[in-house]
């Protein structure tokens, strides 16, 4: 089958979070299964763009309302990622350093989607499936079915839409509806949700199939979907939960070139001790104490706002018997607070405010526990990386965390789970972590070895997507 993935992120070209990891790995595994999966994304000005060789494959003209634009599509020459990567360049709109966060993001991603439809419309053949990811690509299922200039050739191509995160929906005011290529105006309801053009809602309505990145999240969306609950209930017949995998070539402690010492499950104790020593040295922490880390976006969804209080309470209540490390960026006030706490709790807590791919690998390798108190977690990849690196996940009982981590109190359990995103639940769990680390060495050692044998690679999920595509033919 020929599959075109359309997304705003794809690692290593551009990544802001798990979406980039997924789009950078799933197509590779689909190709390994004998299919032809490709990715098309915007051309941002990233290091990967400058470090690689590109060939021009298409040039075209389109317009966003009355604004005319030219676009070009370039392809990475060597297939080095294990799939063909296409970038859409629109001068002045997409060629920026960051992925998101500009005032004209609506115009940027809408132009990108129009250019993708236009390019596919001009291809000499059609792909078997168009697979769109999250709201930045959510208007494509509507446009290819309903816009006059695309529908003749493209309307029959099956579309799959994956909801990675329904908190962000890409809302566009109706005053901008003229941006869209012409369509029968009576079809406006396919774009609308609560008096705005809602790309996430439109995709859920128009895509042939909808998937979410874990089963539990699919169930949760029917009760909590940032306003789209009724829609997810209504469309449940065409919706499926397919758990994300991890790229086990990129995330392998035995070959990872970003960490101080490579190890596998036989060498886990020694390997982690060495990585922890390096990490603790770098951040002024005590390598003999359990190290509990957090990696992620500093936003409410991840319950990052609880970290300052939960960490200080834990340090006081557990008499400084654990160390904490935070890597993240996001809410400026929270960033500031975490920076200030470094002085107050020096030797017990440290943070790196910013984005660092290599430090994230070092933290998964060098920490004893990884804390994820998320309020919403559609899948979560960090806990799967932690498992692969022999780091005990401490997670809230929600979404993909619930589907991938069991509690050490249950038979064969290998993690620490808690129910609420609250300071109390976190400090209590920190107590359990310290007890495990200090008083239960046999259980701790068994857990680490066991979790490293769990296979979360993409093999099975990549096949589930293929089966879903086949059901659409
Ligand atoms: P989300 O996509 O909601 O942010 P995921 O758990 O799916 O959450 O994926 C987060 C990804 O982003 C992981 O690969 C994680 O290591 C990475 N990440 C998040 N914040 C940072 C950061 N500050 N520096 C480096 N990597 C980060
Ligand atoms: C989203 C979710 C995260 C998920 C990722 C990849 O960003 O917040 O839980 O793992 O997408 O699907």
Angle between helices 441-453 and 423-439 (to 10 degrees): 110
- 362-412, pLDDT tens digit by residue? 999 999 999 999 999 999 999 999 999 999 999 999 999 999 999 999 999
Is the C-alpha dihedral spanning 416, 422, 426, 428 positive or negative? negative
- 420 touches ligand 1 (CB under 6 Å): no
Q: Where are the domains of the chain?
A: 2-245+458-470, 268-451
Nearest to 415 by CA among 454, 359, 378, 377: 454
The overall average pLDDT reported for the chain is 97
Ligand 2, CB within 6 Å, residue ranges: 17-19, 22, 164-165, 213, 244, 377-381, 400
Best residue for ligand 2 mutational test, from 133, 169, 213 (most atoms within 8 Å of Cβ): 213
Alpha-carbon separation of residue 70 from 44, 59, 63, 104, 114 (angstroms): 16, 7, 8, 17, 11
The residue whose CA is least distant from atom 27 of ligand 1 is 296
Determine whether the shortest distance from the Cβ of 360 to ligand 1 is under 6 A.
Answer: yes
Determine the distance separating the centroid of ligand 2 and the alpha carbon of 2, expressed in angstroms: 25
- Which is the closest atom of ligand 2 to the Cα of 378? 9
Nearest protein CA to atom 17 of ligand 1, as residue? 17
Q: What is the pLDDT of residues 82-140, one digit of tens each?
A: 999 999 999 999 999 999 999 999 999 999 999 999 999 999 889 999 999 999 999 99
**Domains 2-245+458-470 and 268-451 fall in the same CATH topology:** yes
Q: CATH second-level architecture of 268-451?
A: 3-Layer(aba) Sandwich (3.40)
Q: Is the CB of 21 under 6 A from ligand 1?
A: yes
CATH entry 3.40.50.2000 includes domain 2-245+458-470: yes
Nearest-angstrom CA–CA distance, 41 and 352: 29
Closest C-alpha to ligand 2, atom 1: 164
Pocket test for ligand 1, best of 360, 370, 376 (most atoms within 8 A of CB): 360
pLDDT band at 473 (very low <50, low <70, confident <90, very high): confident
pTM comes to 0.97
Instruction: Render 231-288 in DSSP notation, one character per residue.
Output: HHHHTGGGEEE----B-TTTS-TTT-TTSSS---STTHHHHHHHHHHHHHHHHT--TT
pLDDT > 90: percent of the chain: 99
Q: Is the dihedral of CA 308, 17, 405, 435 positive or negative?
A: negative
CA distance 66 to 180: 10
> Distance (Å, rounded) from C-alpha 120 to C-alpha 135?
19
């Amino acid at each position: 089958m020929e599959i075109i993935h359309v997304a705003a992120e794809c690692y290593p070209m551009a990544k802001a979070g798990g979406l980039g990891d997924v789009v950078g790995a799933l197509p590779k595994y689909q190709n390994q299964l004998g299919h032809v999966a490709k990715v098309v994304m915007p051309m941002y000005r990233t290091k990967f763009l400058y470090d690689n060789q590109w060939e021009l494959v298409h040039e075209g003209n389109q317009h966003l309302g009355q604004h005319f634009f030219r676009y070009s599509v370039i392809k990475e020459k060597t297939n080095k990622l294990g799939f063909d990567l296409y970038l859409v360049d629109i001068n002045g709109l997409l060629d920026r350093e960051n992925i998101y966060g500009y005032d004209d993001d609506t115009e940027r991603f809408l132009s990108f989607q129009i250019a993708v439809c236009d390019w596919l419309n001009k291809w000499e053949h059609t792909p078997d499936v168009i697979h769109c990811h999250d709201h930045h690509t959510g208007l494509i299922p509507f446009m290819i079915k309903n816009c006059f200039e695309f529908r003749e050739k493209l309307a029959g191509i099956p579309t799959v839409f994956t909801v990675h995160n329904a908190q962000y929906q890409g809302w566009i005011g109706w005053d901008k509806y003229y941006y869209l290529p012409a369509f029968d105006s009576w079809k406006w309801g396919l774009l609308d949700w609560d008096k705005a053009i809602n790309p996430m809602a439109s995709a859920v309505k128009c895509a042939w199939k909808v998937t979410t990145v874990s089963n539990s999240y699919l169930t949760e969306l029917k009760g909590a979907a940032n306003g789209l609950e009724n829609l997810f209930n209504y469309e449940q017949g065409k919706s499926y939960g397919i758990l994300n995998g991890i790229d086990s070539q990129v995330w392998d402690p035995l070959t990872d070139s970003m960490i101080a010492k490579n190890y596998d499950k036989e060498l886990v104790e020694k390997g982690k001790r060495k990585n922890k020593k390096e990490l603790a040295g770098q951040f002024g922490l005590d390598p003999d104490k359990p190290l509990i880390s957090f990696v992620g976006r500093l936003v409410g969804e991840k319950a990052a706002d609880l970290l300052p209080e939960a960490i200080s309470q834990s340090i006081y209540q557990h008499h400084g018997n654990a160390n904490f490390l935070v890597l993240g960026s996001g809410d400026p006030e929270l960033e500031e607070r975490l920076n200030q706490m470094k002085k107050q709790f020096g030797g017990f807590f440290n943070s790196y405010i910013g984005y660092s791919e290599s430090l994230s690998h070092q933290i998964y390798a060098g920490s004893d526990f990884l804390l994820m108190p998320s309020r919403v977690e559609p899948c979560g990849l960090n806990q799967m990386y932690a498992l692969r690196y022999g780091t005990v996940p401490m997670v809230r009982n929600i979404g993909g965390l619930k589907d991938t981590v069991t509690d050490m109190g249950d038979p064969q359990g290998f993690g620490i789970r808690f129910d609420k995103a609250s300071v109390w639940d976190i400090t209590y769990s920190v107590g359990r972590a310290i007890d495990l680390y200090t008083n239960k060495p046999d259980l701790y050692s068994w857990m680490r070895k066991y979790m490293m044998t769990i296979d979360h690679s993409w093999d099975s999920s990549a096949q589930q997507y293929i089966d879903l595509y086949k059901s659409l033919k």
